[in-house]
Structure 1
Amino acid sequence: MAFRLPAAAVRPLRPLALAKPSAQQARWLATPAPAYPVTQDSRGPTAMVFLNMGGPSTVDEVGDFLSRLFADADLIPLGRLQNYLGPLISKRRTPKIQKQYAAIGGGSPIRKWSEHQCAEMCAILDKISPDTAPHKPYVAFRYANPLTELTYRQLLADGFGNGRGGRAVAFTQYPQYSCSTTGSSLNELWKWRQRLEGKAGPLDDGRDGTIKWSVIDRWPVHQGLVEAFAQNIEAKLMEYPEAKRDQVVLLFSAHSLPMSVVNRGDPYPAEVAATVQAVMHRLKFTNPWRLCWQSQVGPQPWLGPQTSSTVEGYIAKGQTDLLLIPIAFTSDHIETLFELDEEVIGESGHGDTVKRVDSLNGSPVFIQGLAELARTHLDSGIACSTQMGLRCPGCTSDRCTESKKFFAAQQL
């Protein structure tokens, strides 16, 4: 701007009066997946659904990815001309972005890492939270496969909902909440819940037979996240000469936001700053640091300073020992592998002293932290945070209002 459980028969799904999935989506849905009865004596099984932006797994998927991205007014607000400007911008940018994905191996690794992190977390949860086991991993991307619609259909096919109930946790993989990211993903999840499950009536025992959702909607200062970042920073600092190590400037880089979104009251800048402060506290403030912002798109004013200009400015001042830390990403994707590695560092002229901290990816510390966070949430009985229920002071989105009402009402 980051795989199974015993099979059992389930009741056949009734046909849905919706457009048929595309051939590519149908192939994804046709992938064998275990099904099992949802109603049982324990509180499980539990679907753990990772929400994220996603990324094209191949160069050929870039066009569709960009088309969905620029059509999302929650992420890139283009006003009344969204339906005209979105397709125009995505079409013009596709060749350039395809080259960038080709340069990082032909596609984004975010699906690989998301599926790995979710599966490993669920394996830990089965041990530390047996009452809610088995935990089944799912990934729902906003702009790339597996899209939210596909994942919701898979939940239904696996025995959740459609009169059988069952519990699912929407676990945002944006640690810091923004209406443009977590908000947009939850709005999309709510949309497909309404379309695919509708307003199912209560069962004979008085329970609603639809999926019971709860949300982990933000976790900017969770201990596992902070510790994982801190350990990766400490490891990368060891690559600098000991005499210079404490003078390396730590540049925390997060995806920027349009100032129109910031001025609307979006909580994201404050939550990113909270993560940075927590990490620096864990590091005992051994190094000087700054927070900067990357991935600006379009002519509108965006939150700054930009990461690229920050690096250029420090180098111009003679400070060439700089360590970039992607503080709002939980795995590698194009913003780290191309924007930071190839553009910012590669074009700095100081590739030996301007470095990037490894992304969290398969970090055992991070994945253990995810599991601990999920267990606490599962034990809490809370549908979502109190913060999530509070709309931005400048919010005018009816969809946001209805989505928040729905998830807040899912109290367990």
Structure 2
Amino acid sequence: MPLMKPAAQSSASGLTRRVGQRSTFASFAPPVMQDTTGSKGPTAIVFLNMGGPSTTGEVGDFLSRLFADADLIPLGRLQSYLGPLISRRRTPKIKEQYAAIGGGSPIRKWSEYQSSEMCKLLDKLSPETAPHKPYVAFRYADPLTGETYSKLLEDGFGRGRGSRAVAFTQYPQYSCSTTGSSLNELWKWRNRLEGKNENMGIKWSVIDRWPVHPGLVNTIAENVEKQLATYPTERKGDVILLFSAHSLPMSVVNRGDPYPAEVAATVHAVMQRLNFSNPYRLVWQSQVGPSAWLGAQTSIAVEEYVKKGQTDLILIPIAFTSDHIETLYELDKEVIGEAGHEGIKRSESLNGNPVFIEALADIAHKHLMSGESCSMQMRLRCPSCRSEKCLHQKKFFAGRGDLL
């Protein structure tokens, strides 16, 4: 089915020209209180993401939280022992990597910018749910989910006031290890800070996936086209496109996690938008530990193509919404830098792209207008899921007990 232009492009493109193309990063709006006017507002929009250490001094804590999360890196019964051991051993090396990309991850900077600019567009697109207040909740780095939830309460959301908030995953493709883990953490803090009375707390809904949204697809495709334009005409059509996404342990894949299929759907949509102009493959990066992970690995794929004499390659981040260590260090410095061929390049990340920010506003607008608590897909548990935490979290965010 041919892809349409982003739905937000026609309705919000003028807004983006005024708002989305600023050269400096926006500051947060004043706190939104519950006496603000608006028939269905105010609305908190909470961006969920993994996060990253903003300074090298935060690396140790970041890794400790990451390796303690069995949703992301399942280590079995020895998680409490192996997690801290692995994080301590890896901290010096990871500190060096963050130092090499400027001393920290830019993911907080980009997340705060994207959420702030998106909410400005959303105020125009959906005045009935305005004002929209941007928040960021990271799983492993500041601002942590608990800190953000406390800020929501301080700003007047919740506490029996009938206020609403949208948990907006910044993982376009759903995985129990990423979006699922973030929602588990959000649900945990909801129970800790507001109790289990659903009639008194913040009224939550979830944007849990958006793998083929036209704005996402168009932004990625345009960035690929810009990079393809740097090759000589006679070589352009033979450039191999390598779409790279964060890998998953095979134990998670075999449980029935939808992530591989949804990433593949994004790749196919981008290639359809590009009219299948080039040969392409989907590859996987960032494997950790000795267990089996989803492959082929990005680094090995590049090595093997180079051995075959194919040195015109474009690496395309397909599951990341901004630059962070996986793009700036792993792809740029390790994979591309060590390959040593000028024909191996990377397409730009989404970052502050105004078309992408329009897409975020369009996704949020359609969600708010739909009245849905979450997608139908989120109600469906993985075939082999045995997690009680996942079960209760899904029941809460789905707003009903009839999970599929």
- TM-score, reference length from structure 2: 0.91
- Return the offset for 1:199: 2.6
Matching residue within 226, 236, 253 for 1:245: 236
Mark the runs of 5 or more structure 2 residues left unpaired by the alignment. 1-26
Cα displacement (A) at 1:41: 5.0
Q: What is aligned with 2:105? A: 108
> Which residue identity does 1:195 align to in structure 2?
R
For the residues of structure 1 that align with 2:311 and 2:234, how far apart are their CA atoms?
14
Residue 92 (1) aligns with residue 89 (2):
yes
The answer to whether residue 277 in structure 2 is matched with residue 280 in structure 1 is no
Question: 1:262 is matched with which residue: 253, 261, 272?
Answer: 253
Per-residue CA deviation, residues 66-117 of structure 1 (Å, 9 max, x unaligned), is 0000000000000000000000000000000000000000000000000000
Matched, 1:150 2:140: no
C-alpha distance in 1 between matches for 2:275 and 2:155: 47
CA distance in 1, matches of 2:162, 2:146: 18
Q: In angstroms, what is the RMSD of aligned CA positions?
A: 1.2
TM-aligned CA deviation for residue 165 of structure 1: 2.2
Q: CA deviation at 1:200?
A: 3.5
Partner SS for 2:222: helix
Return the alpha-carbon distance in structure 2 between the equivalents of residues 266 and 101 of structure 1.
Answer: 30
Q: What letter is aligned with 2:161?
A: R
Aligned partner of 2:334 among 307, 328, 343: 343
Q: Partners of 2:207 and 2:58 in 1: how far apart?
A: 29
Partner of 2:265, secondary structure, is helix
Cα drift, residue 4 of structure 1: 4.9
Distance 1:161 1:125 in 2: 21
> Which runs of 5 or more residues in structure 1 are unaligned?
6-32, 202-207
Match of 1:298 among 265, 289, 293: 289
Match of 2:137 in 1: 140
**Matched residue count:** 375
Does the CA-based 8 Å contact 1:163-1:200 persist in structure 2?
A: no
The residue that corresponds to 1:398 in the other structure is: 388
Q: Which aligned pairs between 1:184-333 and structure 2 lie closer than 5 A?
A: 184-200=181-197, 208-333=199-324
1:242 Cα offset (Å): 1.1
Q: Determine if contact 1:251/1:324 at 8 Å carries over to the other structure.
A: yes
Aligned partner of 1:372 in structure 2 is 362
1:408 corresponds to: 398
Cα distance, 1:35 vs. partner? 4.2
CA distance in 2, matches of 1:90, 1:309: 25
CA distances 1:263-301 after superposition (whole Å, capped 9, x unpaired): 000000000000000000000000000000000000000
- State the distance in 1 between where 2:386 and 2:371 align: 30
C-alpha separation in 2, matches of 1:38 and 1:304:
52
**TM-score normalised by length of structure 1:** 0.89
